Amino acid sequence: MKKVAIVLVIITIASKFFGFFREITLSYFYGVSSESDAYITALTIPSVIFAFVGAGLATTFIPIHNSVLTEKGTNAANAFTSKVVNIITGISTAIIFLIFIFTKEIVRLFAYGFDNETMSLAVQFTRIISLSIYFIGIGYVFKSLLQIKNNFVIPAIVGFPYNFIVIISIIASTNWDILILPLGTFIAMSLETIFLFPSIIKSGYKHRLDFKIDDDIKKMFFLSIPVILGTSVNQVNKLVDRTLASQISVGGISALNYASRLNNFVQGVFVVSVVAVMYPAISKLAAENNIKELKKVLSESIIGVTLLLVPLTVGAMIFSREIVVLLFGRGAFDQTAIDMTSVSLFYYSIGMPAFGIRDVLARVFYSVKDTKTPTINAGIGMALNIILNIILSQYLGIGGLALATSIVGIFITILMFATLRRKIGPLGIKSMGLKFLKILAASLIMGFIAYISYEYIKNFLSPNISIVISIIGGALIYFVIIYFMKIDDVDVLVNQFKRKLAERKKAI
């Protein structure tokens, strides 16, 4: 199981790199333009609308399926899966029907500020991409079914062909017809699910046309409600951000998207590794009611996240413009695009550590079987985000939307600390705070040295090469400073990685 977990982490990180390269390709050919705004909006609409149902299914299908399998056997479990697929297909049909009838109204809800030309393009894109809702829904069920069968690799790798096809579609659309872009995306999203079919058939699943809503189906949808409510909060935040961005400037949605993707990419690569290690351990300790040890693992995990994200935050804030130029500054990504995206990245970076810590804290709530508290906190965050979005966008434009997201992330993280403390007792916040200050001090020293180095090196080398050298040098300096600061949790993490490496060598 440990080997599978390691493989999944590697696949996930590789997939995120490939996905980020897809964003770079989009920025190269379309920059921040009305076309990219229309495409990103059309891509967002089906995922936001169906995320409510999909997230609930992904969370509740597995435990209900396992219960049916244990109590009633394989045939009953297959029948249950068939009913879920059939019902989801029916729901998908209804959603697509509504999208086709009210396309313009739905697009306006997501991007109120579009002019007539961009609106017309977004409507065409949305109608094509929305057909993929059929495959998105079935994909949620089949991925969960394969995980039940202990097949974790296939669901993890289907993102690779998706990204490859979308990249080809982006390039082809600039040479022939722009409608190739949404059409290629629809094909990519469809194939992402179709690629699961051989493994599904091999697992022994046989589909039946049964639409009967029995007690197991009712139970699954009832259990999905809290998850759907929690997911809806995140989607409403995304909707508000996109709508306001469309009113601020042409390309506003695209600039916000590129900066957000970069921020999420960093979170995904660096936080996923820490969470993958800590979640099973915390779940086990929670089941054993070993709260003392759970708090210790929690502290180590939080310090592990801040150890990685605080220096990244400092670096992203100091070099926001240089990083955007390095990653996106070519092709159709012009000076205006660089300005808008770098401002967004600067303000998103402020909340980077908070979002990482929030993910860790959320896993603790899930481990102690409390899904209600994170949902309530998310609801509070949604209300605050809407208020701050409206206020800050008036003064900072696109940057105000990003800053609002960061402020809400910090607020929710503090709120989660407070609610978790009431639930399981003192968390050692004072001790963690002192360690955080050490990490922050090391990060600021690193940032200062990296900035001075960059200003000096760019006199002799190109800006892109200079920023890469400065970032690598800064990272080395940071870890040297951290090592000599003798932070207990850092020593524990270093020893754990050394032990894992030794185990890996023995296995080989």
Q: Could you tell me the CA-to-CA distances from 196 to 1, 88, 141, 149, 203 in Å, in that order?
A: 22, 17, 11, 13, 11
Cα gap 433→157, rounded to integer Å: 39
In this model, does residue 5 exceed pLDDT 90?
no
CB atoms closer than 10 angstroms to residue 394: 11
Query: pLDDT-based confidence at 114, cuts 50/70/90?
Result: confident
**pLDDT tens-place string over residues 344-369:** 889 999 988 888 888 888 777 767 76
Output the pLDDT for position 280: 61
Token pair 């997230």: residue: 55
Compute CA distances 351 → 90, 315, 439, 479, whole Å.
40, 13, 16, 22
Give the CA distances from residue 244 to residues 108, 113, 253, in Å, rounded to whole numbers and listed in that order: 11, 8, 9
Reported as a single tens digit per residue, the pLDDT across 367-382 is 776 767 777 887 888 8
Q: Which residue is listed with tokens 């360690």?
A: 435
**Unique residue bearing structure tokens 């929710």:** 412
Instruction: Tell me the pLDDT tens digit for each residue of 279-338.
Output: 666 766 776 777 787 788 788 788 888 888 899 899 989 998 888 888 887 777 878 888
Q: Single out the residue of 235, 240, 161, 241 nearest to residue 195, CA to CA.
A: 161
Q: What is the largest CA-CA distance in the chain?
A: 73
SS3 content of the chain, % helix, strand, coil (to 5): 85, 0, 15
> What pLDDT was estimated at residue 1?
44
CA distance linking residue 140 with residue 59, whole number of Å: 10
Rg (CA), the chain: 23
Of 277, 268, 356, which Cα lies nearest the Cα of 13? 268
Report the distance separating Cα 413 and Cα 416, nearest Å. 5
The residue among 489, 454, 408, 463 whose CA lies nearest residue 315 is 454
Phi, psi of 67 (to 5 degrees): -65, -45
CA nearest 458: which of 329, 346, 317, 326? 326
The pTM assigned to this predicted structure is 0.76
Return the exposure string of 6-40: e unless at least 16 CB atoms fall within 10 Å of the residue's CB, then b: eebbebbbebbeebbebbbbbbbbbbbbbbbbbbb
Question: How far is it, in rounded angstroms, from Cα 346 to Cα 320?
Answer: 6
Structure tokens at 119: 């609106």
Instruction: Tokens for 102, please give them.
Output: 């009210």
Residue pLDDT, tens place only, 373-425: 777 887 888 888 889 988 998 888 888 888 998 998 899 889 988 888 887 77
Residue 273: pLDDT above 80?
no
The confidence score (pLDDT) of residue 2 equals 47
What pLDDT is recorded for position 234? Answer: 65
Query: Quick one: pLDDT at residue 127?
Result: 92
pLDDT at position 184 is 92
Mean pLDDT of the chain: 80
Residue pair 433/301 in contact (Cβ under 8 Å)? The answer is no
Residue among 106, 107, 100, 407 at smallest CA distance from 253: 107
DSSP letters, 259-327, are: HHHHHHHHHHHHHHHHHHHHHHHHHHHHHTT-HHHHHHHHHHHHHHHHHHHHHHHHHHHHTHHHHHHHH
